[in-house]
């Protein structure tokens, strides 16, 4: 597994990370088997995957609890990231969504982050978080200046509770506010070859300011694995129900990509999943994109991890981009 630097933090992590969103087992993805999730996290490390990403909102704390159990006695083997800024246990905040019987709000005010970081540390059974990411940015009806949020995160860094600061789901303007207020080491954004808009507008900024771009949902919630022939056979959940590629009329387009890329899979000795991961890691300046892939089963992590070793040549990267543009 190739490794890479995370921003200017001095942290080195695997190019491919394991995402623990589905491990939360909530309405977004459906019920999970915690024992299988833990085995998957352990298997990830055996395959060279060191970066492990979770969040309090995944399963309303459950994903962090499972990750904490998995890391017991193994904490030093992983680069652990979790998030802040989404709460379901308070009323104060900008309304984001109703899910699993609760009202989830955005609140990045320092006094609330002070509560949240302690709860995450307890659930994760650790005394430090490697990368602490602001999950979603403020809403107009409940503003909090990014400078105030960053000031508190920098204090957490001074205290040794976190090692690096990240932000997710942000605009170009918000990106610039973060870097103006302190050292931002990573941004986490939805990016895939079928949904490239965010990356195409943020890659240059990341390069200019030494910030790692971490792509989440690079496989479009699994549809780009080439394994899903009939969406009715998979658990859609809220996460997949929002992805248009699972619609019956779009499945043949994905199947056509799979067929077209079969020679490339043969050329690189890989699966379609691994080819897509390799393509994603090659975006930006070619060395600054981290690829975050969800996994809660052994076969998923074994497929994903090998994508970190696939390095398509420039001509194939360009041809895959053209192929994706034709259907996107």
CA pair distance 4, 172, nearest whole angstrom: 24
For residue 294, what is the enclosing H or E element? strand 289-294
> Residue 29 is encoded by which pair of tokens?
């993805």
**3-class SS shares of the chain: helix, strand, coil, % to 5:** 45, 20, 35
> Residue 32 is encoded by which pair of tokens?
């999970």
CA pair distance 28, 51, nearest whole angstrom: 22
SS3 category, 229 = coil
Tokens 């192929």 belong to 323
Establish whether 132 is a catalytic residue: no
Backbone angles phi, psi at 20, to 5 degrees: -105, 25
SS3 category, 173 = helix
> Residue 97 is encoded by which pair of tokens?
């969504």
CB 51 within 8 A of CB 81: yes
Tokens 């259907």 belong to 327
SS3 category, 79 = strand
Catalytic residues: 58
């Amino acid at each position: 597994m190739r490794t890479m630097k995370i921003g200017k933090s001095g942290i080195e992590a695997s190019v491919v990370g394991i995402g623990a969103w589905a491990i939360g087992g909530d309405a977004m993805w459906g019920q999970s088997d915690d024992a299988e999730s833990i085995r998957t996290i352990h298997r990830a490390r055996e395959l060279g995957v060191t970066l492990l990403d979770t969040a309090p909102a995944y399963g309303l704390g459950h994903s962090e609890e499972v990750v904490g159990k998995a890391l017991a006695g193994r904490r030093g083997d992983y680069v652990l990231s979790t998030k802040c800024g989404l709460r379901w246990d308070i009323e104060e905040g900008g309304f984001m969504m109703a899910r699993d019987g609760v009202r989830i709000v955005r609140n990045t005010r320092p006094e609330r982050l002070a509560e949240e970081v302690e709860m995450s540390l307890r659930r994760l059974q650790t005394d430090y978080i490697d990368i602490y990411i602001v999950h979603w940015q403020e809403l107009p009806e409940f503003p909090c200046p990014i400078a105030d949020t960053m000031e508190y995160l920098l204090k957490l860094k001074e205290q040794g509770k976190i090692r690096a600061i990240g932000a997710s789901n942000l605009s170009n303007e918000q990106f610039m506010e973060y870097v103006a207020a302190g050292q931002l080491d990573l941004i986490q954004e939805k990016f895939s070859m079928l949904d490239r808009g965010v990356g195409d507008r943020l890659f240059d900024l990341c390069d200019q300011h030494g910030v790692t771009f971490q792509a989440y949902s690079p496989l479009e919630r699994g549809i780009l694995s080439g394994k899903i022939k009939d969406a009715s056979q998979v658990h859609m959940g809220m996460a997949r129900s929002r992805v248009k590629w699972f619609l019956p009329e779009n499945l043949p387009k994905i199947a056509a990509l799979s067929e077209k890329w079969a020679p490339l899979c043969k050329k690189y000795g890989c699966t379609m999943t691994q080819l897509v991961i390799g393509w994603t890691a090659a975006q930006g300046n070619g060395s600054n994109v981290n690829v975050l892939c969800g996994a809660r089963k052994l076969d998923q992590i074994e497929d994903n991890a090998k994508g970190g070793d696939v390095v398509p040549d420039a001509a194939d990267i360009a041809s895959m981009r053209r192929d994706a543009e034709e259907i996107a």
